[in-house]
Amino acid sequence: MKSHGFCFAYCVMLEDDPNIPAIAKYFNTKGRYEEVNPYLREDILAVNRSILQPPSEECQQIHLTAIIRHGTRYPTTKNIKEMQQLYNIILHNASGEQSWLRELQTQWTMWYTEDMDGRLVQKGVNELKHLAVRLSKLFPSLISEEKLRGGFIKFITSSKHRCVNSTLSFKAGLTEHWNIKDMEFDHAVNDALMRFFDTCTRFVEEVDNNPSAVTEVDTFKQGPEMRRVQQKIADHLNIPYSLITYDMAEAAFYLCAYEFAIKSVKSPWCQLFDEDDAKVIEFASDLREFWKRGYGHDINSRASCILFHDVFNRLDKVAAQNMSGQQVAEAVTVQIGHADTLLPLLTLLGFFKDSEPLTSTNFATQAHRSFRTSHMMPYAANLILVLYDCGGGDLRLQPLLNEKPVTFPGLTDRASMPLYRDVLEHYKDLLQGCNFETECQVFKQPAED
């Protein structure tokens, strides 16, 4: 944890916390933010401003854009149905003397109901409140009471209830922190930006609704590594192998993950897996994200062009206002969406690209892959872009992912805070050529006579 000096002493200790499942670091997009930033387990409002390190003391922060995934949510209806099915197998088919199995059969109850369907949970509310306070401590000149009251902080959200409620929670984090009771602050719902994947016809037809786009995922699910995991679960439960399909193995994994994310409980469901099993299920999930949201198909990331342009148009406007001596009208923009919003944008920007694509046959050689959603996309994951004026027209842009500085891929000069003009030059092909309407058009072959 080199980016957090205050973490040295106890981060090693935290690794062996008996209340945390050993497999928690493999929970993909169902993971807790605290697994990505373990220092927050000790102090949920901890920040370390020394990570920012502008090149000179003259550098002033003039704008911040934060693109944030919603907080912890309940499972979707589809997942809940599969969990119910697995729970019935445990109740009616499983046998054995293990204490965790007896606990599942006699004490644990299936408390998830289908109407929960992906709604934000209390933990998710808290995550966004805490994130808001931490960002106000990291960037006090931008995320300030004065800027909020003055209308310089804008909020944009996806229309999904979990995102709207995450936006309300982020705002509440600030208003409670500053004890603001005499004002309320608006947000705009914008699905064109935050749910671009719904309106990009080419993505919907060629990837989202096209089973052949994810053949690598299906092949891996039916392959030897996954079959071994399913058989081990069946052996633990003393039931026929045929009862534990991939969906049932995934449901058990999700039950362990959700019980931990929602209630901070190390549940008996986790006993069905060791770390080797978790790595296989993590890879299956990463494969799906890779082929549906990541580098697997170009349209996955190019569908996010509309959000990419939104961000850079805003940065350009801020740069122009700043250059002409005007006050920056939009000091902070907070945009709240989904993993499916953030992952394509990170892919478009070139983050987490491995030399080889993820496939059904390279689980073993991809053990140290960069493309790992457990590390980059927990609940409340965030990409933050901070524009600095370092004097004499020297603008710089600092990217942070989950509150840690990262480097724009391919830009190594002044690694974590390159010149803004160098960033524009680096992405000029996208800035000039990535047009949402053009990218998302489907060109139908003319019907033959």
Candidate list 4, 63, 70, 297, residue with the active-site label: 70
CATH topology for 24-440 is Rossmann fold (3.40.50)
If one counts every other C-beta atom within 10 angstroms of the C-beta of residue 161, the result is 14
Q: List Cα–Cα distances, 3 to 31, 37, 407, in angstroms.
A: 21, 10, 14
pLDDT tens digits for range 166-216: 999 999 999 999 999 999 999 999 999 999 999 999 999 999 999 999 999
Q: Please give the radius of gyration of the chain, using alpha carbons only, rounded to the nearest integer.
A: 23
pLDDT of residue 413: 61
* SS percent in the chain: helix, strand, coil, step 5: 50, 10, 40
To which residue do tokens 């509440």 refer?
172
The reported pLDDT for the residue numbered 67 is 98
Tokens 């700043």 identify what position? 322
pLDDT at residue 445 in the model: 59
CB-based contact 311:385 (threshold 8 Å): yes
Q: Give 306's DSSP letter.
A: H
70 is annotated as an active-site residue: yes
Longest dimension (CA), the chain: 75
| Residue 407 neighbours by CB under 8 Å, 6+ apart | 399, 415, 416
For 133-270, where are the E strands, in sequence order? 153-157, 188-189
Torsion angle of alpha carbons 50, 51, 55, 61, nearest 10°? Answer: -90
Predicted local distance difference test score (pLDDT) of residue 348: 98
Distance CA 139, CA 361 (A): 45
> Do 213 and 297 form a contact (C-beta atoms < 8 A)?
yes
Going 151 to 153 to 158 to 160, the CA torsion angle's sign is negative
CA dihedral 343, 349, 351, 357 (to 10 degrees): 80
pLDDT value at residue 15: 55
Helix axes 275-292 and 246-263, enclosed angle (nearest 10): 100
b/e map of 299-315 (b: 16 or more CB within 10 Å)?
Answer: bbbbbbbbbbbbbbebb
- pLDDT attached to residue 3: 42
Q: Work out the number of other CB atoms within 10 angstroms of the CB of residue 331.
A: 25
Could you tell me the residue ranges of all domains in the chain?
A: 24-440
* Weakly modelled stretches of the chain, pLDDT under 70: 1-16, 413-415, 444-449
Q: pTM above the 0.85 mark?
A: yes
